[in-house]
Chains A and B, each alone.
Chain A
Amino acid sequence: MDYFLELFLGGLTRGSIYALIALGYTMVYGIIELINFAHGEIYMIGAFTALIVISVLTLMGMNTIAILVIAGVVAVIYSCAYGYTVEKIAYKPLRNAPRLSALISAIGMSLFLQNYVLLAQTSDFLPFPSLIPDFEFMEPYAHIIGSTEIVILITTAVVMVLLTILIKFTRIGKAMRATSQDKTMAMLVGINVNRVISVTFVVGSATAAIGGVLIASHVGMINFYVGFIAGIKAFVAAVLGGIGSIPGAVLGSFVLGWTESFATGYVSSDYEDVFAFLFLVLILIFRPAGILGRSEKHKI
């Protein structure tokens, strides 16, 4: 039973890691129906920026809590700036182009950002300090779940709730929902669609940056390529849950995390990804729009 619980918690942690990245994917997809391949890179840039800030501040001799807060804030600011700029350069001019063009543009942006960081920084793995101290009250449970994992879990829950509030109850959220349903109609009723899309990218990038800092500090290292691998998995999670839906992304991430964890625990980690993808295929065969996705009626 202990073993089951441990695998369950391990899957939960993995799931919440995916969720922090999947949220941004799903938001962007919901609004412009684009697989934003560069999203993983935004996450990576967030983590890198945080690492740079941490290193500089440590040299200046600040205390840990201050460093944590400043690094987090700067990472979020920069990720948002990158998300905003990427959208303006690579996606906005393609608003009316075929969808595949935008997808290729996203792939190009992803490659560009990876190599930009590779050339400007390094190809080596860099150690990322663990920012979250081991809490004393967690010590009895340390063999099951660590403090960083707890923080990631809580953060995922908070971010999900905040995003749901943003979309359900605020003015801009209403505008987002309108834009995602019908861009032309939204424009006609006076919504500044370009602004709404920009805001979506900025919010998505902010969640990616929070994820980037927390995950890097959990894993303990980063390089230029971490974004791509995590991004693919997060995207699978978002599709599994029903892309475009916020709770769907989180649920999909947990389901994916558990699938991988239990597959490793009870079968073999050799085929962990095979199980994950087969599960995805199974779900999609029975619910072609994902667990929480609504299948749209096509009008002719």
Chain B
Amino acid sequence: MITFDEIKKAFLVSIWFMFLTFPIMVIRVNPVEHIVEWRWKNMLVVGIGSFLLSFVWNYLMKRKELGFKKAESGEETGTIPLVQRILGEKKIYIPALVVAGIFTIAFPFIFSLYQTNIMVSALIYVMLGLGLNIVVGLAGLLDLGYVAFYAVGAYAYALLNYHFGISFWIALPIGGLLGATFGILLGFPVLRLRGDYLAIVTLGFGEIIRIILENWNEFSFGPSGIANIPRPSLFGINLSVHESTIYIYYIMIALCLFTVFVVNRLQDSRIGRAWIALREDEVACQAMGIDKTKTKLTAFSLGATWASMAGVMFAAKTTFVNPASFTIWESIIILCIVVLGGMGSIIGVIAGALVLILMPEYLRAFSEYRMLAFGVLLVVMMIFRPGGIIPNVRRVYTFQGVKNTDKS
């Protein structure tokens, strides 16, 4: 199975990595006290580790190439992934949906407050992911400043409540509208930009919003933030933390279902198809008579609406907002959710959000290593499953044949 050549290669790889990690893994310096610590054991670990990993890597690479070849030679490989097949099969799909539904409803009663609480966080990211999916996944506009709209929503609720005592249920639609407006405002100047230029300008917008929130004390209370934001009320009944967490959980489930419903309908609508056309080829899309400006702006503003509503939820859940929650890393994580889950695929984005947000919580025991693992996961996933966890399946329109030949 393992040839001599492979062993030789793995040996060379391990030598290379021992060389590569030598200064950082082996030597630790304390330039103040002039102490140098030599940790030779680490070198051994790196050597053996990379030796073994190189076999795994080669094996996976071979499998990947095999997959490519099969696909190229036109062999039937069952390219439709398992999940999509299940979704296509009504007999499995409906019972599965029922089970999932019951589980979702019973969740807060089976698990502890903590589990419910982190599930709410994950659901907020599901919403954010689905919103960004409109912009990146469907319309193909790379947005690195998505967190700006999230901040708009969170601050909208926090400030409206602080100044006017406006309740959560009124703030939610206002936040959504405000987000849509901001989406259009920020969308206008960047209409001409493509690809990475767009990415960097949106990144700039995200930072501008954060810096304004940080500096404009009279407006946003600066970096010390706004505390004591009320949780959503239930017909004026005061809820304890436990109860209101469960309540928020159900609100979030309802909002997510609503999001899925809307995004799903949008995808198949005229505007949704226009987005996909825009993503595939801007010039061709314009030639087909699609109004580029309108299409882009709707994508931006609809995406922003969801982010804003998620922001209102965030403020209500955390009861505290400050600009530190809206850094560029947040945008990057939302983007990772979309790409890792599967661009354009609704169920993929949901899976991506659950994995990426719950994983760090469950990995608390390895708190030090979790960000390391997160980085590795992103790289490995992209290499071996570039389409994401549950890739989007392109809708296929079959040509039925021309029945009415008279007019042709």
Contacts and interface: CB of A to CB of B under 8 A. Distances in A.
Contact of A273 (B28, B207, B281): B207
Contacts of A104: 335-336, 339-340, 378, 382
A126 B27 CA distance: 15
Contact of B207 (A115, A270, A277): A277
B390 interface: no
Given A52-B29, A105-B383, A120-B24, A284 B34 contact: no
Interface stretch (B121-129, B161-169, B193-201, B263-271): B193-201
B371 to A, nearest CB: 5
A275 B248 CA distance: 39
B386 A284 contact: no
Contacts of A97: 382, 386
Interface stretch (B208-216, B225-233, B249-257, B400-408): B208-216
Nearest to B196: A35
Interface string A120-139: 11100011110000000000
B101 interface: no
A282 B197 CA distance: 12
A273 B213 CA distance: 13
B205 interface: yes
A101 B382 contact: yes
A300 B339 contact: no
A55 interface: yes
Interface string A48-78: 1101111110110000000000000010001
Contact of A284 (B201, B340, B369): B201
B196 A56 contact: no
Contacts of B374: 108, 111
Q: Which of A104, A127, A285: most chain B CB closer than 10 A?
A: A104
B44 interface: no
Interface in A88-136: 89-90, 93-94, 97-105, 107-117, 119-122, 126-129
B372 A119 contact: yes
Contact of A102 (B31, B61, B208, B382): B382
Q: Which of B61, B196, B215: most chain A CB closer than 10 A?
A: B196
The binding surface of chain B is classed by DSSP as helix
A220 to B, nearest CB: 11
Interface residues of B, number: 64
Interface residues of A, number: 71
A120 to B, nearest CB: 5
Contacts of A129: 31
Given A81-B20, A119-B368, A298 B204 contact: no
Contacts of B142: 100, 103
A292 interface: no
A262 interface: no
B32 A108 contact: no
Interface string B182-202: 000000011011111101110
Q: Which of A85, A274, A300: most chain B CB closer than 10 A?
A: A274
Q: Which of B25, B208, B284: most chain A CB closer than 10 A?
A: B208
Given A100-B343, A271-B211, A59 B36 contact: yes
A75 to B, nearest CB: 9
B289 interface: no
28 contacts: A29-B196, A49-B24, A51-B29, A55-B31, A56-B29, A59-B36, A74-B23, A89-B379, A90-B383, A94-B386, A97-B382, A98-B343, A100-B142, A105-B383, A107-B332, A108-B379, A111-B378, A121-B28, A126-B29, A236-B200, A236-B203, A236-B204, A239-B197, A270-B211, A277-B205, A277-B208, A278-B208, A288-B197
Given A105-B378, A109-B379, 9 more contacts: A56-B27, A93-B61, A102-B382, A104-B339, A108-B378, A115-B371, A120-B24, A239-B200, A284-B197
